[in-house]
Amino acid sequence: MGLIKNLWRGFRGGPDFSNCVEVTALLEDWRLNLTVPSTNIITEEEQQKINYPYNQAGWFEDNSEQSRQHHYIPIDTQLWYYLPNSPFLQTELGVLSLSVQLKRVLPDKNTNAMDLSALGRYVVAEYDERYNAPTTGPQFQGENIRRIKKVGEEVRKIFGKHAKEEEVSS
């Protein structure tokens, strides 16, 4: 049946929800349990950390990683390859990844992380502060504004006086 299903879909692989693993993280007074499909990539599994004492002074700073503006603690990452049906193609069609991370809400922002609406506003504001900043800087600060200006300059070069200002700036 799996062969027919793969032929119908045009690929094999991806997450298989009939074969799941449970990921557990103890966040001091919270317990996070996630059930995710097992990865279809054969690797050596590292011993997974379970206890995350995030309220302990300095623990987050000592253990966090950074990607762009995000400072976070990785909890778990799962990857699933999508492979072609043809035995002649020896490459993947794509990969899907899920990365579960512990990220801190900055105390000066006065946001309740358990209120999803407030958390959503916090995430959007954090994005705007970084990428829509009026000045450019490290870690892609002001990147959206820089790109908008660059495209506007290119449009003015190409179309000159024939471009209306509202067309260039939008």
Tens of pLDDT, residue by residue over 132-160, are 888 877 767 778 888 888 888 888 888 87
Q: Are 32 and 43 in contact, with CB atoms under 8 Å apart?
A: no
Closest CA to 131 of 84, 81, 70: 70
Instruction: Indicate if 95 and 128 belong to the same structural domain.
Output: no
More reliable by pLDDT, 87 or 18: 18
| Boundary-marking domain end, from 104, 135, 156 | 104
Domain that holds residue 159: 106-170
Q: Stretch 24-50: mean pLDDT, rounded?
A: 83
Closest CA to 38 of 90, 79, 93, 3: 79
Whole-number pLDDT of residue 33: 93
| Boundary-marking domain end, from 104, 130, 145 | 104
Q: Could you say which DSSP state residue 14 is in?
A: S
Tell me how far apart the alpha carbons of residues 128 and 73 are, in angstroms, rounded to a whole number: 22
**117 confidence band (pLDDT: 50, 70, 90):** very high
What is the greatest pairwise CA distance in the chain?
Answer: 64
